[in-house]
Structure 1
């Protein structure tokens, strides 16, 4: 620890506010397809590199903001306090996000990200005391952190970054698997180009032209609504518990959950393979397949697909068309909720059992591969979280760490 010292972030680089000058901030003229506009939620959602933005600026929006270079560390100071991610592409962000630009070596962007991860609770406490928690640039720069020399900073950032990049790679592979399943779904059930389709003809139906031998139905013909609820206090405290905050947007693989310990109100019961559909603000597109048994918020609709139709049910309920229908028919203004009594009547064309079963095999194979990647990533994240505070405080000598052994053990 002899090379470690107490220092502020400005000893490693510059820290500046993001920029969004125009008012009102929701002026439609600001938005388009020109440049990613990253906000606090985008920073929080990123594992390491931030590349996905919820909104994009137009030329007008870019002109009143600032375009930041990749490699800047983005730090939230409002809403989600002290969350951080390294910018993975050119983009803009508002003044609720700070940008740290390294002065000495690019690796310091990652070192600062991990430094903030370790000290997030301390920084969050510093942000309290007002009606709305706000860290402020001044408060952040007033903090001193333990900082080693440049070579050690580079090695520490390299070790932790390697684990996070493995996680990011797994997520990209998982996304490709799901996109493949979606593409096959469109081929089979929208364009009717399924194996053997050349021998069939299209016939008129209430849904339009569909292959002969197919029938018209609704979503409720493919799934069973699970109504079972339970008092969390009556189950094993270690039982997986899923809140709406755990269900990812537009991603079928559920990769986060907590436990039943300490939960109060009754929860819905689900089993591995069930579909969890977030019914509050359905436009958030929170639809995932459960990888294990557990309990969840009653604000999620639990659907159990029938065996033959499992694949079609999963892909239909998670489709843009179904989510749009749930959004358009939802009840409420501030907190709209999807109504199962309405959305269960969503029309679908049902294939013969052989086609439905073949499609289920395709989707199960893809999603099981994605689940395996998810569980590997959880192991890697656990290893990272274990190493993080020890490396960032000098308790572990990074020069003696065998990263290959750590990664292999975590992914096993």
Structure 2
């Protein structure tokens, strides 16, 4: 079978949008799948989820219940986000989210996801996008009639297997990174939370504090410096990561801050903490701790501080409030010993992250060429 040109709806069993409202908060239950749960790389991120109660769930799935191999996407506000629903997922579409249910006799679900991530499809959606006063929107009335040209089903499977090989390696490395970071976190907790540090048996505890340790205001230990605005439209693709309060949000041709350093969420994801081993650009939604003061001990300490929203209206972290928070400062030799103990762990994390970056770059170079037929499998 040769390539076929048709519309998206011709390759789909159906195209559905989600509810135009938000359920009452629930502590447990199925996932209310929102924009923040879909990454730019085409994956679901369920680390922070909103739940819909089991009692409410039927009313939020009247239009459609997401099932394995559906391709979910955002059609309003933050555009160009796509992900494939995995086996065992239980949830409903959130606001500004829709899905395509592929006809597996005509299109391979993994191929369809990669096609949606391609520059060719992005250009088609950019042409459809309606620019509003507050948010941009892809009209779902026009989306189904978008023309596409897909190769034969066996060729789709071959293309998806090539690209999936890169993503499988990336996912495996992410799991290794998570295990390494957990090991460093557990060691920190053992030494500095449970106070079972090396030689603790011989250290006197006074009022819950080991001898030689101090309770100090953060402002006496570090300086939180402001990041600098850098709009997405002003970024020039390069090798330096751009940090926002949700982590790395892009890359730029030059850096603002020399690494290693610590990034702290100021607005949005308040109090989030990231370690940047390399030079980087922090935008204006974050603070940063310069390399002269940053070390692994401080990086692991800051999440325990208990930063909270303090600005009315827009969630934010007031710097003076942050400076007033107290931390337990250990003796300098123990702090250095911890840094030495976890340095190999963080070095391996950096190596894996760099490898993942190269894998993603290679995949992204292949993607448009495979989709256009420039390279055949």
TM-score (ref. length: structure 2): 0.85
Query: Would you say the 8 A contact 1:82–1:124 is kept in 2?
Result: no
1:372 and 2:351 aligned:
yes
Could you tell me how far 1:228 is from its partner in structure 2? 10
The match for 2:49 is: 54
Distance 1:129 1:192, change over 3 A: closer
Compared CA separation, residues 282 and 12, structure 1 to 2 (3 A):
closer
TM-score (norm: length of structure 1): 0.79
Does 2:181 correspond to 1:178? yes
Return 5+ residue gaps in structure 2 as ranges: 231-235
Gap runs ≥5 in structure 1: 249-253, 261-267, 399-412
The one of 24, 28, 33 aligned to 1:27: 24
Q: Does 1:342 align with 2:308?
A: no
Structure-2 residue corresponding to 1:146:
149
How has the CA–CA distance of structure 1 residues 379 and 172 changed in structure 2, closer, same or farther, with 3 Å as cutoff? Answer: same
Q: How far apart are the structure 1 equivalents of 2:148 and 2:367?
A: 14
Residue 99 (structure 2) aligns with: 99
Q: Which residue of 2 aligns with 1:43?
A: 38
Please say if 1:277 is aligned against 2:264: yes
Shift of 1:225: 4.5
Question: Are the structure 2 counterparts of residues 396 and 110 from structure 1 closer, same or farther at C-alpha, using a change threshold of 3 Å?
Answer: same
Is residue 391–residue 397 contact of structure 1 (8 Å, CA) maintained in 2?
Answer: yes
Per the alignment, in what secondary structure is the counterpart of residue 113 of structure 1? helix
Are 1:301 and 2:287 matched, yes or no? yes
Q: Is the 8 A contact 2:239 2:251 kept in 1?
A: no
Aligned equivalents of 2:263, 2:151: Cα separation in 1: 46
Q: Which residue of 2 aligns with 1:3?
A: 2
- How far, CA to CA, are the matches of 1:52 and 1:336 in structure 2? 20
- Partners in 2 of 1:13 and 1:239 — Cα distance? 38
Aligned-partner Cα distance in 2 for 1:363–1:219? 23
- Tell me the matched-pair count: 365
Contact 2:229 2:283 in 1 (8 A): no
- Tell me how far 1:286 sits from its aligned partner: 3.4
1:102-132 CA-partner distances (Å, limit 9, x unpaired):
3226981111111111211321320225554
Q: Secondary structure at the match of 1:344?
A: helix
| Kept in 2: contact 1:240–1:258 (CA 8 A) | yes
Q: C-alpha distance in 1, partners of 2:52/2:6? A: 36
Q: Output the aligned Cα RMSD.
A: 3.1
Cα distance in structure 1, aligned partners of 2:77 and 2:339: 41
For the 8 Å contact 2:71–2:84, the answer to whether it is kept is yes
Q: 2:299 maps to what in 1?
A: 314
Whether contact under 8 Å (1:44, 1:80) holds in the other structure is no
CA distance in 2, matches of 1:227, 1:112: 41
SS in 1 for 2:5: strand
1:259 equivalent in alignment to 2:257: no
Instruction: Give 1:144 shift.
Output: 1.0
What do the CA deviations read for 1:5-25 (whole angstroms, capped 9, x no partner)? 21222333323324437x5x2
Deviations 1:308-340 (A, max 9, x none): x722211122x1x42x42x24x33x23233222
Structure 2 contact 242–249 (Cα < 8 Å) conserved? no
Q: CA offsets per residue over residues 164-217 of structure 1, 9 Å max, x none? A: 22222222222222222222222211111112222223211xxxx022232222
Contact 1:48/1:86 (<8 A) preserved = yes
Aligned-partner SS, 2:288:
strand
CA contact (8 A) 2:243 2:280 kept: no
Equivalence for 1:79: 77
- Change in 2 beyond 3 A, CA 1:301/1:53: closer
Residue 331 (structure 2) pairs with residue 352 (structure 1) = yes
Partner of 2:233: none
Higher helix residue share: 1
